[in-house]
Amino acid sequence: MQSDNTSNQPSQSQLRYVTRSSMICDLKLEQISQDRWQEVTLTYKPLLLAWMKNKNVPASAKDEILQNCWVAVYESIGKFERDPEKGTFRGWLRTICRNKIADYFRSLPKDMGVPQEVLNAVANPEQKDADEIEREEQALREAEVRALEIIRSKTNEQTWEMFWMTTVENVPTEEVAQKFSVTKAGVRMAKQRVLKRLRELGFEI
């Protein structure tokens, strides 16, 4: 695995989803930067689309529901509290998506004849078959890749390579320091700088 190959990403076992308070705090800002908001929406879009697919939302309605989801997040994030007993950010986001999907189906004319199995799927979100579980896992992997791509695009190339070599390729810090003619402390700082950005987007290695 080479650090200059943009297609190489940490494995699923290396990169896992978390919800960091820094991301929640940023979203709660009255004037969150457009750049920060875009990072979050781009990262979590695959999950929202996967949940819609699991509930048989037609392609023609996905953009509208997606927009409604983000409007709801923006308007209600101030009420979200990061508490394991009350649920995670991802669970909260899933609930918003489910509600917007339900709103969409309720808005359809009765003569369109929405299949009962579709209505049952929306009403029973915890009932998932193997395909639904796989789609959600795939969407989470795509979200992970997006997070890495966003961070790399805004990170100095040397900083990224030092992070990649020490964290993904497990190259000893001393060896990386010699390669880039920096101190071991400099390598550790570069690594932590990228890890901090990953945590801000809800992931960690």
Beta-bridge partners for 204: 16
15, pLDDT greater than 70? no
201, pLDDT greater than 80? no
First to last CA, the chain: 17
Residue 3: what pLDDT? 43
User: CA-CA distance, 87 to 81, in Å (whole number)?
Assistant: 9
The mean pLDDT of the chain is: 78
Report which DSSP code applies to 111. G
122, pLDDT greater than 70? no
177, pLDDT greater than 50? yes
Two tokens, residue 162: 């030092």
Q: Which residues are within 8 A (CB) of 80 and not within 5 positions of it... i.e. 6 or more apart?
A: 24, 89, 92
User: CA-CA distance, 75 to 73, in Å (whole number)?
Assistant: 5
Ranges 16-30, 81-95, 134-148, 159-173, most confident:
159-173
Residue 22: what pLDDT? 55
176, pLDDT greater than 90? yes
